[in-house]
Structure 1
Amino acid sequence: MAAHPEETPDAGSWRESVPEASATDLENLLGTGVGAAQEQLERNGGFLPFALVVQNDGEVRLVAVTPADASDGSDADFDADTMIRDLHELLRQHRDEFRAAAVVCDITLIEEDSDAIHVAAEHQDGSLFAAVLPYAPNPGTRELEFGQLSADTNEPAVWVD
């Protein structure tokens, strides 16, 4: 299958390396996750880590955990790393109920000095895909401006023993 002209070479080669149904599930999670995160950023200025799953019947559902308090001495209101670990644990415990999952979180891109939405998706067949979408407030309008979505690497976190 040839890559579509609008796809990046990485996206084209990735898509060819996984089963069609798995690629569709992962792309669905990626699009839904980025959209939900963008909406939360524009409405609230930030978002807590969350997960999305494609249930065995094909329905996409949101999975969330209660934020843990940040460790003492931290100026953060919550501990994102703990929330992400809790999401992974919850997804592992219930992985027989769905066929694909993605964890969506807010990250800092050190080299670009930018914040970004990060989506790490995986399928029960072992297929993986992750993407990063940088964003920054426009100093003039104070509205968020989003950069280019780019592929990232990730390791399996749900279908592991």
Structure 2
Amino acid sequence: METDLTSVIIGLASLAIFLLPISYYQFQEKKGLKEAKKQFLNKAGDLAFQTGDFEVLRNRASIGIGKNHEELLYVKRNQYQLIELTDVVNCSDYKNHRKDLGSHDSVIQQVGIRIKLRHGLDARLPFFEGKEGTLIGDEQIIVRRWIDRINTAHKELEASVNA
């Protein structure tokens, strides 16, 4: 039984048509995450923020707590928020919904952390921003993990101040 050269070429072309878009998407994702990490580290260096634990999120934002657990830095593109953890009063998650015009359903537009600060100030840090409401599934887990990290760092600061 001989293998037909045309069949081999068609098989390889079919495989390439399937794998090229996936490879391109993965390459773009890695490139975007690398750029977001670079922006976070550059902004941290500009602000003299001692980078401790940080994470690059799917919306190309980065969030991190300093080594001494006194500050929280959130960077998205050219904007940033530097929050003193001693000023944190409350930390919770939030979701923004948009009503779908054709039905009674609502579509999730944004998921993130809302931090209430002293003097009545409020900081919103979006972790997911979707145009069509397409959640991947673990956004709430990531938000809860960062809320726990912020609360833990805040408690450590209060304990060190009271000691």
Verify same fold: TM over 0.5.
Answer: no
Q: Highest relative contact order (Cα 8 Å, sep 6+), 1 or 2?
A: 1
Query: Which structure has the bigger radius of gyration?
Result: 2
Relative to its length, the structure with more helix (as a share) is 2
Relative to its length, the structure with more strand (as a share) is 2
* TM-score normalized by the length of structure 2: 0.28
* TM-score normalized by the length of structure 1: 0.29
